[in-house]
Amino acid sequence: MKKLLNLAASFLFLCPTTYAESFNVNFWPAGSSSPPSPWADPNNLTLLQIAPTEIAGAPGWETAGWQNVGQANGFIENFPATTINGSEGSTVTFEIINQRNAGSYFWASLRDPSSHSNPNASLLDGHSNSTEFDEFSGSGAPFPERTGSIKISNIPFATYDIAIYFGVNEGQAFDRIATVRINEEIPTDPTDKTGGTTFTLPNGEPDGTLDEITADGDTGNYIIYNNLSGTEINIQTWGKQFNHIGIAGIQIRETGGVTAGPVDPNTSTLTASTNSVAANGSASTQITVTLRDANGIPIAGENVTLNQTGGSGSATISPTTASTNAAGQAVFTVTSNTVESQEFSATVISNSLTLTQTTTIDFVAPPATGDLFNVNLWGFFGSNPGGTAEQTIY
């Protein structure tokens, strides 16, 4: 899964960059238009959308400024051309041809609002299910065997990269197998099922977990194509039989770019794998420092330190310094022997910049192991009057 799939191009994995222009689209299920019938609890519809300041996307693609496009549930139909706004004011034209419907990642009754604290959960939760290819007769719905497609035109770049994210209605996921193909991979015969990249969506992972599809047959939920050209791109995806797999989001950006800006203390973050840890000196939590510039782009190659800024005891932090990776992340392991809450902050070594966000870890008393006592009990035990038994008490 780590061997990059290329289409008419090679993958350029440079240090994270900012881009003069990018287009970032998140699909969400707006419900049926006739009659009106939302596919998710109306109180949770905002969870399916990415807020303007929230940062979402695959490693190296993280950004704010997503445009949420609501998709209605319906039978085979065309989604009218609409305008997608770029981060710097340019536009592209967006169409869905032969759309089947749109669905949420979970059935409404299974939705857990707390799981959407990760913006990537909102990115994956809600998709445009554009096809019903390989329909089986037992479904009771005689849909035609044809693929739907997404068409994006008026792309303003000479060369560009694209990331495509996939989601599924969990109540109709079935074997979770789907196929995606773009541009010259798409045959002229609408019933031709050859070509493209076949993949299996992950199952049982935490909401918002992103796994890259890098080869045919991979398990994953997003794929990247690099160094594409032309003012138009066509994307087809379909699930095997009735599994409602579709495109959850799309990002397009110009190939290349400029070096990321300086670290922004407000968009950079600290997150802990757990905020409650036994204070026994061995139980640990991992604190991840993510450095981003003002546009939300991760910054690689910066050395950072994690510092304890609250609590009377001394935590053990390892390593003492760490360098951020391509996703802008540096990971520290923290333990403590003191029962208390301890606060941590992060500092960029090159300019002594301390991040605005901090994180607090509650080091709690370890569970008691107890002392062993053997108590001699005298009495009547079954057919052995006057016998004894030993009871172990902790």
pLDDT digits (tens, 9 = 90+) for 18-37: 455 789 998 876 654 444 44
Distance (Å, rounded) from C-alpha 172 to C-alpha 153? Answer: 31
Please check the confidence at residue 185 and state whether its pLDDT lies above 90: no
Mean pLDDT of 115-130: 73
Beta bridge partners of 345: 307
Confidence of residue 188 (pLDDT cuts 50, 70, 90): confident
332 pLDDT more than 80: yes
For the ranges 113-117, 153-157, 258-262, 264-268, the lowest mean pLDDT is seen at 113-117
Residue 123's H or E segment, with its range, is helix 119-124
Both tokens assigned to 255: 């190939």
Which pTM does this prediction carry? 0.61
Higher pLDDT among residues 125 and 228, named by residue: 228
**Which long-range contacts (C-beta less than 8 Å, at least 24 apart) are formed by 76-82?**
76/100, 76/132, 76/143, 76/144, 76/148, 79/128
Using an 8 Å Cβ cutoff, are 5 and 217 in contact?
Answer: no
Q: For 95-115, what is the mean pLDDT?
A: 54
The DSSP 8-state label assigned to residue 66 in this structure reads P
Predicted pLDDT of residue 386: 46
pLDDT of residue 64: 82
For residue 27 the two structure tokens come to: 């699909």
| Cα separation, 320 vs 325, whole angstroms | 16
Partners of residue 329 on adjacent β-strands: 290
Name the residue with higher pLDDT: 202 or 341.
Answer: 341
Most confident of 14-18, 84-88, 383-387: 84-88
pLDDT of residue 379: 44
pLDDT digits (tens, 9 = 90+) for 268-304: 999 999 999 999 999 999 999 999 888 777 788 899 9
What is the pLDDT, as a whole number, of residue 34?
45
Question: Cα separation of 354 and 348, whole Å?
Answer: 6
Residue type, 166: F
Residues 47, 328, 226, 244, CA torsion sign: negative
The DSSP element (H or E) to which 366 belongs, if any, is: none
Higher pLDDT, 321 or 172: 321
Average pLDDT over residues 183-191: 79
Q: Which residue has the higher pLDDT, 167 or 348?
A: 348
Structure tokens at 202: 């992950």
pLDDT value for 60:
82
Residue 57 CA from chain centroid, whole number: 7
Residues facing residue 296 across a β-bridge: none
pLDDT at 10 over 50: no
